């Protein structure tokens, strides 16, 4: 346990560390680094990779292949370079060159092995398998994104970013990854958003402290009002396994820290780190490779019937899911907003009935998962 006085809060906060193994990886002035949150120990994995020319917040993570993905700008060629780094060893895996100002604020989509990012007027996709860059959508005005404030929902294929409006205001936007359609999520000034894909809840920091926003109900909650505002922009990540939000924090001359917040309770824990130790940190779940291999071995397509449907109820097949685990059902509309969320403790192996309620006609995405296997399908309602 540690007691650390946080400048600007005006009180002391008691910090405790979680017992389960948790690892962060990222860039620093000294090289590519990792940190064990359970012991607060850190090490340099590769001194040949540094944060030189790397933009704050422009990193993402491929959990399936355990790759840290980040971007730099080449001043000589004026191109941008996407770097892939092995999270376990720090070894450089691949460097891909892309035109400048096309892939700002990158986020990784494991379904298509694709990176999404914003340009000045465009929303773009870079496929890591084919090494091709494509423009998903072109906008009429400049996309004023606040640096280091993006996240990606791999379940709904939705890219979220904080859009600058004025010097004092910014709003969260949702972008459908396959169409580029933008939808306003009316949460002013939520910085460093991270999403829990199993619940459809966004977490971040604003003037009120550490907050959450439930996309389906639009419920806004202040989880902890004593979270310091002197954070490093874009230095956040989310640990879905333990339900914790993690970000890098500066105590204004008294050292830097990594803070971890339990999203259920608001409890804080911390590790002190050298100044400028982490740029663009990402959570590295070493157990995720096993889960991903299970996902790949099973069919991803979910069977829904009837489809199209005009009634309130529809059925989904449940083959391929583990027995004894509860099934979670999520229904999203075409804008990526969660409309229905249900949990079935004991599911029938042959299928189960789901109610869509009184939601109107349109195209919906239905996701069913048991925490290990995720399946999805489109449902058309007329």
Q: What is the CA radius of gyration of the chain?
A: 21
Question: Rounded to the nearest 10 degrees, how much is the dihedral formed by the CA atoms of 293, 294, 297, 299?
Answer: -130
The residue among 198, 285, 281, 204 whose CA lies nearest residue 239 is 285
What is residue 293's predicted lDDT score, i.e. its pLDDT? Answer: 36
Which residues does the chain have with pLDDT short of 70?
Answer: 1-21, 52-53, 55-57, 101, 142-143, 145-146, 165-169, 228-234, 251-255, 275-279, 286-301, 320, 322-323, 335-336, 348-350, 371-372
What is residue 372's predicted lDDT score, i.e. its pLDDT? Answer: 64
What is residue 234's predicted lDDT score, i.e. its pLDDT? Answer: 59
What is residue 378's predicted lDDT score, i.e. its pLDDT? Answer: 81
Residue 67, by phi and psi: left (phi above 0), alpha (psi -120 to 50) or beta? beta
Q: Which residues of 278-290 are buried (b: 16+ CB within 10 A; e: fewer)?
A: bbbbbbbbeebee
Handedness of CA 200, 204, 207, 208 (dihedral sign): positive
Which residue is it, tokens 């199209």? 308
What does pTM read for this prediction?
Answer: 0.72
Residue 64: HSE in the Cβ half-sphere, 13 Å Cα cutoff? 14
Extended beta strands in 225-262, E state? 231-239, 244-250, 256-262
Question: What digits encode the pLDDT tens for the residues 250-290?
Answer: 766 666 788 899 999 999 888 887 766 666 778 877 655 43
d(CA 97, CA 99): 7
Domains of the chain, start order: 2-292 (2.120.10.30), 298-381 (2.60.40.3080)
């Amino acid at each position: 346990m540690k007691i650390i006085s946080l400048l600007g809060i005006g009180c002391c906060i008691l910090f405790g560390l979680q017992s389960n193994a948790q690892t962060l990886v990222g860039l620093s002035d000294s090289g590519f680094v990792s940190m064990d949150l359970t012991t607060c120990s850190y090490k340099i994995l590769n001194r040949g990779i540094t944060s030189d020319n790397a933009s704050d917040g422009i990193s993402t993570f491929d959990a399936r292949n355990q790759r840290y993905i980040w971007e730099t700008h080449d001043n000589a060629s004026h191109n941008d370079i996407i770097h892939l780094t092995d999270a376990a060893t720090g070894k450089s895996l691949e460097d891909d060159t892309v035109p400048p100002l096309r892939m700002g604020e990158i986020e990784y989509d494991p379904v298509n092995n694709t990176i999404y990012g914003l340009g000045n007027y465009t929303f773009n996709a870079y496929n890591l398998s084919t090494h091709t860059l494509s423009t998903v959508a072109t906008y009429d005005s400049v996309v004023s994104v606040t640096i280091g404030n993006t996240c990606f929902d791999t379940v709904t294929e939705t890219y979220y970013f904080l859009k600058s409006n004025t010097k004092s205001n910014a709003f969260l936007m949702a972008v459908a990854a396959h169409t580029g359609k933008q939808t306003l999520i009316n949460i002013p000034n939520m910085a460093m958003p991270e999403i829990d894909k199993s619940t459809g809840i966004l977490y971040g920091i604003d003037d009120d402290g550490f907050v959450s926003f439930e996309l389906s109900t639009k419920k806004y909650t202040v989880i902890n009002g004593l979270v310091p505002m002197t954070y490093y922009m874009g230095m956040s990540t989310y640990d879905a396994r333990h339900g914790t939000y993690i970000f890098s924090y500066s105590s204004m001359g008294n050292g830097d820290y990594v803070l971890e917040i339990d999203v259920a309770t608001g409890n804080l824990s911390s590790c002190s780190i050298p100044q400028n130790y982490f740029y663009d940190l990402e959570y590295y779940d070493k157990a995720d490779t096993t889960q991903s291999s299970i996902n790949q071995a099973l069919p991803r397509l979910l069977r829904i019937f009837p489809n199209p449907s005009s009634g309130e109820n529809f059925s989904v097949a449940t083959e391929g899911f583990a027995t004894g685990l509860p099934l979670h059902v999520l229904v999203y509309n075409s804008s990526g907003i969660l409309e229905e969320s249900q949990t079935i403790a004991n599911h029938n192996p042959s299928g189960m009935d789901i109610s869509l309620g009184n939601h109107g006609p349109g195209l919906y995405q239905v996701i069913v998962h048991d925490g290990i296997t995720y399946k999805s399908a489109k449902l058309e309602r007329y």
